[in-house]
Amino acid sequence: MDVKIDSHQKMQGGVRNSNIELFRIISMLVIVAHHYVANSGVINEIVGITEPQLKDYFLLIWGWGGKTGINCFVLITGYFMCKSQITAEKFIKLLAEVEFYNIIIYAVFCLTGYTTFAWKAFLDRIILFKSISDGFTPCFLLFYLLIPFLNKLISTLTEKEHRLLLAWCLVVYTLIPSLGGWTAFNYITWFSVIYLVAAYLRLYPRDWLENGKLCAVAAAGTLLLSWLSVVGIAYFTSKTETGLVWPYYWVADSNKLLALATAVSAFLFFKNLKIGCSKGINTVAASAFGVLCIHANSDTMRQWLWRDTCNNLGAYQTSYAVIHAIGCVVVIYAVLYAARWSAHPSAGASAALLAGQKRQEHREWMKQTACVS
């Protein structure tokens, strides 16, 4: 999910502002925290209890934002790509990075004896588009191919038409499902809606959307509402005979009202944040997509990472469950960042061999993390 650098990411003198890169890092940490709770079985230990402890409420909040984080990433893509163009080379590089991690991770698991090699499992790793459901990576790759057509559509719309299209999409895909109705959709469709939202914010700026204090209040307010919705559902349902139910109704999927509102308000807050340039932030942020590709690679990875290595379920039974949750997410991000960074020459070489441009790959990697473009 590379972001095109433009005037919105630069300070005077062509120095790159790291605000969106910081937003990218935080969004990925939120996604990893969600996976800590949702992919490890911890959430299943909490659902059904009648006397939740403070650690239970913390872990529920800790895991609230996976779908919101996905919205954040697509907003970044839409905001910058609506005035840019994708190329076959860009798509091949993105696809090559995904395939690189899929093949390497499966090979490591097979060579270490953690899993047994099977052709069907191997083909499932490398044939990304055999079936399209709700998996982020294949949906994002296919959505990426839609961007030129979305840009063509956006360029022909007046501001009023764009606004009316957004209103229709958000009523159908957000309001109705959030209020108890049902709308059939997949992530390719939803990513396209988010893209339209981001493009509108980019193409039709408003003074109040550039107000840092107002955006900060909106971001804090929607975040608080999201957390309160989780805690409120958990608290009141835990008093019933059946015990605590799944508490993520308002943020359960990317199209839910609070998941969308929190992502948009947080994006606006960080867009208006003035933190100058940090090469460290830019470098760490450049690895965010790789962190996602690695830690959420497959069910085998989820089993190895969250259950066998981190032993989340075991830690949940202890008094240090909160410390374990925080520590694991930070350490996993740091380790996967290091792994992605060290593997980048190999990943870059793979992409370069496919695209025939090894030197350009290296130059773009350096440009992606530089403070001056």
pLDDT tens digits along 326-347: 999 999 999 988 877 766 544 4
Residue 138 counted as domain residue: yes
180 and 249 in contact (C-beta within 8 Å)? no
Of 59-63, 250-254, 342-346, the range with the lowest mean pLDDT is 342-346
pLDDT at 355 over 60: no
**Can you give the pLDDT at residue 367?**
52
Give percent of the chain with pLDDT exceeding 70: 86
What's at 358, amino acid-wise?
K
248 in a structural domain: yes
Q: Identify the pLDDT of residue 137.
A: 87
| Residue pair 55/321 in contact by the 8 Å Cβ criterion | yes
**Mean pLDDT over residues 219-246, rounded?**
95
pLDDT at 371 over 90: no
Residue 28 above 90 pLDDT?
yes
> 298 lies in a domain?
yes
Grade residue 6 by pLDDT with cuts at 50, 70 and 90.
very low
Looking at residue 107, its pLDDT comes to 95
pLDDT for res 87: 85
Q: Residue 254 sits in which domain range? A: 7-369
DSSP 87: -
Least confident interval from 15-24, 124-133, 294-303: 124-133
User: Which region, left, alpha or beta, applies to residue 115 given φ > 0 means left and ψ of -120 to 50 means alpha?
Assistant: beta
The number of domains in the chain is 1
Whole-number Å distance between alpha carbons of 253 and 249: 8
Structure tokens at 200: 């509108």
H or E element at residue 197: helix 187-203
Q: Is the pLDDT of residue 88 over 90?
A: no
Q: Any residues with CB less than 8 A from the CB of 112 and at least 6 apart, and which?
A: none
2 located within any domain: no
Answer whether residue 1 is part of any domain. no
User: pTM of the entire structure?
Assistant: 0.88
Q: What angle do CA 49, 55, 58 make, to 5 degrees?
A: 105
Total H helices, total E strands in the chain: 18, 0
